[in-house]
Amino acid sequence: MNGGSLGLRTGSYGSLGGGGNGSPFPPSPGGGAGGGAALPIQAVAVVFGSGGRKGSKLSLAGSKERRLSWICKVASRRKVGMLLLFIASAAVLLSFVPAFTKDEVQQTGLEATIGYSDHVWNFVNPDRVSSNYLMAPLARVTEEKRNTPSLIKQPYSSSDNETNGSDPLAVTLPQRHPCEGFSIPPPTPLDKKRTGPRPCPVCYVPVEQAMAYMPALPSVSPVLKNLAYVSEENLQADETNGGSIFGGHPSLQQREESFDIKESMTVHCGFVKGKKPGQGTGFDIEDAHLHEMEQCRGVVVASAIFGNYDLIQQPKDITEPSKSTVCFYIFVDEETEAFLKNTTAMDSTKRVGLWRVVVVKNLPYSDSRRNGKVPKLLLHRIFPNVRYSLWIDGKLELVKDPYQILERFLWRKNASFAISRHYKRFDVFEEAEANKAAGKYENSSIDYQIEFYKKEGLTHYSEAKLPITSDVPEGCVIIREHIPITNLFTCLWFNEVDRFTSRDQLSFSTVRDKIMSKVDWTISMFMDCERRNFVVQAYHRDLLEQKLASQSPPPPSMLTREPRGKSIRDPVPGGAARTLPSKKPPMKRGRRRHRARGAAIARDLNTF
């Protein structure tokens, strides 16, 4: 029975013959085609022997045939056969285990080698820290896998195969940088109708490549590794040292010590009075907004409008990856908020387009220009977990993707701080005179600040300062990485603005040069025409005119035909009236006069 069932099962693999005399086993008592154990043994012999193999295969050694026959005889028993079948099935199932765990193992290995921030997983070249920028191998994006809630969605996922090239999210960086060898072409002839500075061409890489060039690790902060900030709960106003209570009234001795760079430092950096920045410090922000700002990690684009001085400008040409991973914040006061509610579509979450609107209360200064310096220079205090920031003044419109800007002006240059130089002036003394001529600030305050810096060693700019290319920045855009040395620079820069005038162009070079004299660190100053390539500037006066035009005009008065010779009385304030000249009788218009008038108009048009 057992032999018959096994014999029928194996009979499908080949034609089976009856038991022959040459069989090493005697025939079973049942005889016939299915009656004994000799049938499957002969079937195995036929299968292995009639497959068209070479002659050497047919003449097997006797001992080998006996072992094979013995194995088949043992396998013909039900219990042993079921055991072998179970073992074979288990082996087949176990063979699929590596396939299920392959993705998980590779994911773990990738997470171990790719650096990331909590806000956005970076495209990272594991071989690049700050050098060998142009020799970049394959880099990828990885999705954050955390259980904590995230403010920003993470749209990317990692690939489980680094060699097949089938992953559409994989970014293969070229051996040579796409912009290597690019140079700004010579300027075109000036257009008489368009005076003033103009943008120039800038070479950007695609957004995916720009994100892939994001460094895995923060830049090295020379000397300074730990930076803390002065905080005094019961601080009293003391104007003898200058500055404000928001800045902490640092003395001149404390100011001098803050430029002595050490490994660990504690300096004044605004928000001195209160628990933490934005809570009872002046420049107060709602707790919900503070919590969201703490969750912002990676890149932030920030701006501000105080005193309802500008119209909010929406960024353009922002890609979906940036919309999903970059924080866009604009700080306003209550006056500006009221205007936005009446003129823009600000939703319940206080968003206007891409901008998250943050209303600031208890402003530390009465001057809106000074209030604007708080987020401009102290972003690292209110965004403590951000890696990179892009500041743009409220009058500017961003027209390039933030990742492209960061790659072009920071990562490609291995810089941690970038700002454009002034398009016309390079010398602080000239900038001071221009500010006085334009009435930007009280002349006596500007003179006092410049005289103070002269006593500390401020000199006119000259070629002797090279490779420093300018002492005067165009401070409406700041691109920086948040590391201790750059945070210290903006803290000390803010302290100068708090102590002296709010014209930050006047104090920039003094703070920069004092820090550079202590540590090996510099600031990248790019051309102003390059800045104008990624931001569009709308001057305050133009914006105010737009505000007036946006107000609904009164309905036009109904004009009535007056008799000839009578004047129209135009009322003016104070009860007086202005007499308008009476209408002249219509002129006779003949063909010659009409032709001459048309020719005159044509001549006038040709003059434009």
Q: Please tell me the predicted confidence (pLDDT) of residue 24.
A: 41
* CA distance to 292, 331, 503, per residue, from 306 (Å): 22, 8, 16
Q: Please tell me the predicted confidence (pLDDT) of residue 314.
A: 94
Is residue 2 within 8 A of residue 8, CB to CB? The reply is: no
In this structure, what token pair is assigned to residue 236?
């009293």
3-state DSSP assignment of residue 325: helix
Spell out where 482-587 has E strands. Answer: 524-526, 535-537, 569-571, 577-579
Q: How many CA atoms lie within 13 A of 586 on its CB side?
A: 3
CATH fold of 284-546: Spore Coat Polysaccharide Biosynthesis Protein SpsA; Chain A (3.90.550)
AA identity, residue 205: V
What is the rounded distance in angstroms from the CA atom of residue 551 to the CA atom of residue 544?
11
3-state DSSP assignment of residue 202: coil
Q: Which stretches in the chain have pLDDT values below 50?
A: 1-60, 99-168, 541, 558-584, 589, 591, 593-608
Please calculate the CA angle 473-476-479 and round it to the nearest 5 degrees: 80
Q: What is the DSSP string of 3-17?
A: HHHHHHHHGGGS--P
Q: What is the DSSP string of 576-600?
A: -EEEPPPPPPPPP--HHHHHHHHHH
Q: Please tell me the predicted confidence (pLDDT) of residue 166.
A: 37
| Helices and strands counted in the chain (H then E) | 21, 16
Q: Please tell me the predicted confidence (pLDDT) of residue 564.
A: 47
Q: Please tell me the predicted confidence (pLDDT) of residue 346.
A: 80
**pLDDT tens sequence across 195-206:** 778 899 999 999
Phi and psi at residue 267, in whole multiples of 5°? -135, 160
Q: Please tell me the predicted confidence (pLDDT) of residue 325.
A: 96
Q: Please tell me the predicted confidence (pLDDT) of residue 550.
A: 65
HEC string for 142-200: CCCCCCCCCCCCCCCCCCCCCCCCCCCCCEECCCCCCCCCCCCCCCCCCCCCCCCCCCC
**pLDDT tens sequence across 359-375:** 999 999 999 999 999 99
Domain boundaries, the chain: 2-94, 284-546
What is the rounded distance in angstroms from the CA atom of residue 304 to the CA atom of residue 369?
10
